[in-house]
Structures are given as C-alpha cells and as structure tokens.
Structure 1
Amino acid sequence: MPDNSSIRQYYLNRLDDTQDGQKPGPKVPLGIGRLIADCFAMLFRKLPIVLVLSFWPSLLGVLLSGSLVGIRYTIGFEDVASGTASGPILLSALVDILVYAVVTALLVRPVHDVKFNRPVRISRDLVPALKSVFPISLLILAQTLMVMLGGLLALFIPGSVLFGIIGFVFIGLFLIAVIWAYAAWSVMPAAVVVEGAGFQGLSRSVALTKGYRWPIVAVIAPVWICSALVVLATAALTGLVESIAGLSAAVVLFAVADAIGTSLVGIIVSILYIRLREIKEGIGVDRVAEVFD
C-alpha cells in the first residue's frame, strides 16, 4: 500500500485535474433516495457513536450561546431581550458555525469507516478532524458573508430600482441562486477533512458538485427539514422538561436534539462526498478510505 503522503498527493493531483475540467465524470444518477436512506440508517445504526462525537460540541455551543444572549433564549424558552446588543447575537451565530464545523469534521471519517465496514476509531480521528475545524469555519463564514451581501443587494435593488412583481421575481431568483450556491459548496467540509484541501475546499466542492447541484438540493433539503424539526420539536418540550426536572435537564435535552440535528447534516455531507468521488473520479469508498491509514 502506498504511504500516506503519496496518497494525499494523488488526491491533490485529482483536485487540479477536476478543477481544470480535464477529466469530467460520467453523467450517472446521483441516487437521491438511496443517499437519504443511507443517512438516516447510519444515524440510527450508529447513534451512540454519533452522540459521543456530537453531544459535547453541541452542549458547549448551547452554554456559550447562552452566556452571550441568555440560556432561555438559546433553548427556545423566550425571545431575546429587547436591550440585547447586536454583538452578542452575531457572536452566538458564530458559535453555531463553529459547532457545525466541529461536529461535521468529527463525523467525516467515521462515516467513511461505516461505509467501508471498518471499525470506527475515535482516538485516531480526533486530532486530524479538529485540525480541519479552522479552515471549515472560515469557509462557512465566507459563504455566509457572500450570501448576506447578496441578500442586501437583492433587497436594495428591488426597493430602489424595481417595483411590484418585478421586485418579487428578482428576490425569487436570488433565493434560487442561494440554494444553488449552497449545493455547490455542500461537500466542502468533507473535502477539507479527507483531502486536506484547506482553503481550496470551496473550489474543490464546486468541482465535485458540478452537474449535480439540483439533485444535491433534493438530497439535502429533506435532511435539513428533518434536522430542523428535531430541534424545533425538542424546543417545544423543554418547558415541560424544565418544570419536571429543572433547567439543567432542559439544556441537556436541547443539546442532545441539537447534536442529532447537526449530525444529520454532517452525515449527509460525508455520504454525498463519497458518492460524488465515485461518480466523478471512479474512486470507490475503499480508495478514499486509504488516506486514513
């Protein structure tokens, strides 16, 4: 078996080839239903491992956000206080980005192990995953800022230049563009962790998802909806839990729900990445998994 450095160089060469458009992959079906089914099957089949990896980042995120904007607001008990400055709210949003980056980075390698029927080794995966958190977080922040800038333009132009139905059409087109862009960037975290793509993760994701953006939306949308429903349903129950077992129990319950919801998204990102590598580059999950040895 080749050493780890040669495998990584191989992946970097494939990255350049894919970006230059020299080796386009065959147009084969993505397999929307199978990918969604694999995501939920993996969550339930490996729920203890998923919670071991995702609960503590989620709990720390809830506590940190609670210290910024109030714990009762964070877990859905009440609206943010009217006098709360915008700074803590923005910092709380950054905490959410960091939690997503940590959880997704921690799940990428275990998802590959499960797909390849290999034992999950958390101790082996922990440090490399955490090293990927910084570039993933910055790239997600860059995505968010680009979307926010586009949103400001979408609101400004119809209000100042266009009117009526034309303005609504413009905003609708912007929303479609946001969804398309998210699909284009969707597998960035997995590319950063697996290939060590670093800040090239966005361009790598764009290359891998080319030609499959709308099928990717069809895969991710149901998972995102289920993820949000898990968190919202739990938030509705936290009041009852607090009345029975106290605020601490409600916080833990919310953190568990947040961990499951975030893990769903992290799992589907990893599964999509594996599938796109198979389609675009003819690399099976066994070849992708070699980089972890």
Structure 2
Amino acid sequence: MSYAPETSRPPLGVTELVGRVFRLFRERFQEIFLVSLLYSVVSLAVSLALIGPERTFGLTDQGTVPVGGEGGMGPGGMGPGAMGPGAMPMAQIGVGDLVDAVLQILLSALFVGAIALLVVDAARGRPAGAPEVLRRALGTALPVAAISIVIGVAVALGFVLLFVPGLWIFAVLSVAIPVAAVEGAGLGALGRSAALTKGYRWPIVGFGLVFAAIVLALTLVLGLFVLAPLGVMLTGGEPGLVGGLVLTLVTALVGAAYAGLGALPAPVLYLRLLELKEGGQGR
C-alpha cells in the first residue's frame, strides 16, 4: 500500500474561499439579509420583553454608561447575539435574564442553521427562500445550540491555556455547525467536523484570520466615513428623537447585514472541504 505525500494534498485556497464568501453575499444578499433581519428583530424583541431596554441596550440609570454587550460577535457573527445581561453582577441576574440568555442561544442557532442551509442549497443548485430555510432550521436548532455551546467552551479553554491551542480547536470544530444543520448529525457533527478539517487546520485558521481582518477594515471604514458623519448630520451633535431613531434604524440594518456576512464563512468552508475530501458537495 502506498501513501500520497503530504505535498500532494490540494490546497484549501484561502483567497478563493474569501472571494466565495463575498460573492455569495452579493448574489444571495436578499435572502441572507432577510434571515439576518428577522433574527435581529426577534432577538431584540425577546430581550426587550424579558429584561427591559436598560439591560438590552446596556445602559445605567443615567442611560449613558454601557454595562452590557449589544451588537458584539456572537456565534453567527456581528449582531444582537450578545444582547443580554452582559457584565452585570451575578446578584442582579434574575429569571428573566436566564430565560433571555437561553432564548438568545436558540435564536442564534436557528439563524446560523438557516444561513448554512441557504448557502448549501444555493451551491447545490436548489436555492431556497428565507421562510423555507428557517422552517427547516427549526428541526436542528437544539443540536446546533448544544454544539455552539460546546465549541464556545472548548475554544475558550484553549485560549485560556495557550493561544495556539484555542486556534487549533477552532479549526477542528469550524464546520460542526453547518454539518449539524445540513446533515442532521446531532452531536456527531463534532467528530464529522474533525474528520473534514483534518489536514487543513492551519489553513483554516489562516482563512479565519484573513476574513476577520477584512471585516475589521470594512467596519472601520464604514464607521469612520459613513456612520459617524451620518450621526453628526442627523443629530447635529446633540441627541434628538427623530435623528436618533433614524440613526438607530440605519445602524440596525447595517448590523443585520454584518450578521449575515459573518455567518457565511463556516458553510462556505464546509462546502470546500466536501470538495476536497469527498469530491463533491455532499447530499
């Protein structure tokens, strides 16, 4: 029996993968944005109902000093997935905060599952609309949520111990969520992800870092040259009801678009690994 040398393995193609992500975002923007917007609206409504506007938006009694985390990086990317009790002291966390946290995890799982289905369906030539992928994602929301928690804990422990193990664990489990959503593998998606990523872990880390750097650059440009001037123009440097509402709406729409963009790399990577390991795009 002969074994192919390590150098014969086809490359992951980091540059091509990044290009695929942005090309897909452009071509399927309507469906991606609709799913992201629905997620953002429902997530916000749940937090407002359960924990109120002060904790939802991370405000003190004076309404100026943030204590929570709104609009951070969640499992699906940038968006309202970080809304919740944030940095509140444990003594201040009540039943509403705990229920909100659980529902936010489930909503995030539904969101990333729907985006994964949307991406894979489009690649297989059977593009589906937002209502269909959301309906199908409901069936895998619980296992996707469980896998998201496992990944979060594992990667966090890796970063606490040493930075490099955290990156490696991230790469090993990088396609577990699309596997769970698309293949219905449940917790078996963790092992399936490890098998698919074997031999490509450090290129996967490179892909993640390159994509994150591009998104960071876009965020800085958008914030400095679009949102900041728009805020000054709408509010005149002073808080106003109409200007504040318009600015909040624009920021929310931009955040929804970012959430959709941030959810694309994992399913795009999943499809690429299927090409490399199994010679196709799966079922």
TM-score in same-fold range (> 0.5): yes
Distance 1:34 1:148, change over 3 A: closer
Query: 1:83: Cα distance to partner?
Result: 9.3
Paired position in structure 2 for 1:195? 183
One-letter amino acid of the structure 1 residue matched with residue 154 of structure 2: M
Deviates more, 1:185-194 or 1:248-257: 248-257
Quote the Cα distance in structure 1 between the aligned partners of 2:217 and 2:145.
24
Of structures 1 and 2, the one scoring higher in RCO (CA 8 A, sep 6+) is 1
> Structure 1 residue 34: deviation in Å?
0.8
Number of aligned residues: 241
Q: Is the 8 A contact 1:192 1:198 kept in 2?
A: yes
For 1:43 and 1:251, the matched residues in 2 are separated by: 23
In structure 1, list runs of 5 or more residues that go unmatched. Answer: 1-23, 155-173
Identify, as 1 or 2, the structure richer in helix.
1
Tell me, in whole angstroms, the C-alpha distance in 1 between the residues paired with 2:139 and 2:244: 34
Tell me if the contact between 2:114 and 2:133 (Cα under 8 Å) persists in the aligned partners.
yes
Any stretches of 5+ residues in structure 2 without a counterpart?
Answer: 1-5, 69-85
- Match for 2:172 among 154, 172, 184? 184
After TM superposition, the structure 1 = structure 2 runs for residues 86-105 of structure 1, keeping only pairs within 5 Å, are 86=90, 87=93, 97-105=105-113
Q: Quote the residue 2:249 is aligned against.
A: 252
- Tell me the amino acid that sits aligned with residue 135 of structure 1: P
Look up the equivalent residue of 1:58 and give its one-letter code: S
Say if 1:70 and 1:250 are closer, same or farther in 2 by CA, change over 3 A: farther
Deviation at 1:223, TM superposition (A): 2.5
When residues 132 and 253 of structure 1 are mapped into structure 2, their CA distance, relative to the original with a 3 A threshold, is: farther
Q: Is 1:221 matched with 2:209?
A: yes
Shift of 1:43: 0.8
Q: Provide the rounded CA distance (Å) in 2 between the counterparts of 1:83 and 1:135.
A: 27
Which of 34, 47, 63 pairs up with 1:52?
Answer: 34
Q: In structure 1, what is the Cα distance between the partners aligned to 2:217 and 2:251?
A: 12
The alpha-carbon distance between structure 1 residues 258 and 127, as it changes in their structure 2 partners (threshold 3 A), is same
Cα pair distance change 1:77/1:257, threshold 3 Å? farther
Over 3 Å counting, the alpha-carbon distance change for 1:264 and 1:84 in structure 2 is same
Q: Is the 8 A contact 2:176 2:189 kept in 1?
A: yes
Please state how far the C-alpha of 1:96 moved relative to its aligned partner: 5.6
Q: Quote how far apart the aligned CAs of 1:31 are.
A: 1.1
For residues 154 and 255 of structure 2, what CA distance do their matches in structure 1 show? Answer: 26
Once the 2 structures are TM-superposed, how far is the Cα of residue 70 of structure 1 from its aligned partner?
A: 2.7
Structure 1 residue 36 and structure 2 residue 36: aligned?
A: no
